[in-house]
Each structure stands twice: as structure tokens, then as C-alpha cells.
Chain A
Amino acid sequence: KQEVTQIPAALSVPEGENLVLNCSFTDSAIYNLQWFRQDPGKGLTSLLLIQSSQREQTSGRLNASLDKSSGRSTLYIAASQPGDSATYLCAVNNNNDMRFGAGTRLTVKP
């Protein structure tokens, strides 16, 4: 059974810093991995999707990497802003079975 772990559980940084969120998974036979953002009491906003054959995806200040063989993905956020404050979830897709990590709660202080 796939297990997804996210480190750290919480992170607080000053505005402008670059930061990295980590996601690890136990079963490397995945179809894809997706990073989401969740604001308090809200649904999920998809940030980046990485297919199993890809190594990274970029969108604006966000860059996600995937190392399937080692079961790891990172989400890099450049020049963080207070508006980036949210919980970031990674989800791993194994053949119609999507498993989520517990999330990293990010706070960017002005």
C-alpha cells in the first residue's frame, strides 16, 4: 500500500525566501504525482502535475521535481510571498488510486 510522507509538517519563512517542500512515497510504480495547494476550509488547487516519465515541471515561481526511483518529489517555491501561505499537498497516483501526504503548512511572513 502506497504511503506518502511530507516534510516538514509546517514551515514559516520571511517574505522573499526560496524554499523547498519534500514529498516521499514508498511505491515507485506510479502514474503521476501532483502538487496541490489548499487554503483553510477550501478545496484543492492543482499546482503542478508530473507524469511518471517526467523529471520536473515548472509554472511561474514553482518548480516540481520527481525522482521516481528514489520515491521523492520536491516543490521549489522561489521568492516566496505572503499570498503563498497555505497547506501544500502532494498526491501520488497509482492506477486509479490517489494517495495524499499530510501536507506542509506554509506561512510566509511579510
Chain B
Amino acid sequence: GAVVSQHPSRVICKSGTSVKIECRSLDFQATTMFWYRQFPKQSLMLMATSNEGSKATYEQGVEKDKFLINHASLTLSTLTVTSAHPEDSSFYICSGGKDGTNTEAFFGQGTRLTVV
């Protein structure tokens, strides 16, 4: 299978600061990457779809100015949580597909964000 590397695995930040999470496809080119959020004891919810070289597509209810997504290359997508608040504390996970549509999804290890 393909490998998606996500960093950091855990981060604690103060309210009002910004945090960047990186998602890299190590052995394949991901034209599309997906960002999910998971609150405790809930399932993963898609936040946005990141397309290389173009603007991300955000799901309804997800603030695009708060969750900045950049997909500048075929192997790297980043999610920046700006002006973080405690309610942003969650588990964030990315995934990528080799050709974006009907292939197997490969997930990063996830990032546990705690905003204090």
C-alpha cells in the first residue's frame, strides 16, 4: 500500500495562535487530498478536499478562513488552524488517493490538537 505521513502527531497550542499540520504522500503523487476532523467518540467528518494547484473545496459549515489548506505540490498538503480556540481541539487526519476517485484511500497517522 501507499504511505501518507502526517506531522505532528500531537500538538498543544495557546488560544489565538496558529498551528500547521503537514500531510505528505511518500511514495505516490496525490492529486487530491482530504482533510477530516474527528471529535471524541464520533466518526470522521470531511472538512475539505484539497486539489493540487487550486483552491480547496470546503464542506458546509467549515470556515475556510479559519482552516487554511494549501496543496502546492503533488506530495504535500497542509492544514493551518488559524487563531485556534479550545473548541478546535480535535483529531485531524488527512488522506490521499493515487488518482483521486475510485482508488483505495491511504490515511496519515492523524494529529491530536489541543488548544489551551
CB-based contact B104/A46 at 8 Å: yes
List the A side residues contacting B109 at CB < 8 Å: 42-43
Whether a CB of chain B sits under 8 angstroms from the CB of A34 is yes
How many chain B residues touch A (CB < 8 A): the figure is: 25
B57 and chain A: residue at smallest CB distance: A96
Given contacts A89-B43, A98-B46, A100-B43, contact A43 B101 (CB under 8 A): no
Q: Say how far B51's CB is from chain A's closest CB, in angstroms.
A: 10
B42 and chain A: residue at smallest CB distance: A102
Whether a CB of chain B sits under 8 angstroms from the CB of A91 is yes
CB-based contact A46/B106 at 8 Å: yes
What's the Cα separation between A49 and B98 when bound, in Å?
14
Whether a CB of chain A sits under 8 angstroms from the CB of B61 is no
B6 and chain A: residue at smallest CB distance: A43
How many chain A residues touch B (CB < 8 A): the figure is: 24
List the B side residues contacting A91 at CB < 8 Å: 44, 105
Whether a CB of chain A sits under 8 angstroms from the CB of B67 is no
Whether a CB of chain B sits under 8 angstroms from the CB of A71 is no
List the A side residues contacting B42 at CB < 8 Å: 102
What's the Cα separation between A46 and B32 when bound, in Å?
18
CB-based contact B104/A100 at 8 Å: no
CB-based contact A93/B105 at 8 Å: yes
What's the Cα separation between A91 and B44 when bound, in Å?
10
Among B100, B102, B107, contact of A46 (Cβ-Cβ < 8 Å): B107
What's the Cα separation between A22 and B6 when bound, in Å?
30
CB-based contact B110/A34 at 8 Å: no
CB-based contact B105/A96 at 8 Å: no
Flag A70-110 by CB within 8 Å of B: 1 or 0 each.
00000000000000000001010101111111110000000
Whether a CB of chain B sits under 8 angstroms from the CB of A51 is yes
B1 and chain A: residue at smallest CB distance: A46
Given contacts A32-B104, A46-B104, A46-B107, contact A96 B46 (CB under 8 A): no
Can you list 7 pairs linking A and B with CB atoms under 8 Å apart?
A31-B101, A43-B107, A52-B102, A91-B44, A97-B46, A98-B34, A103-B43
Which 5 pairs between the two chains have the least Cβ-Cβ distance? A31-B102, A43-B110, A43-B109, A44-B107, A102-B43
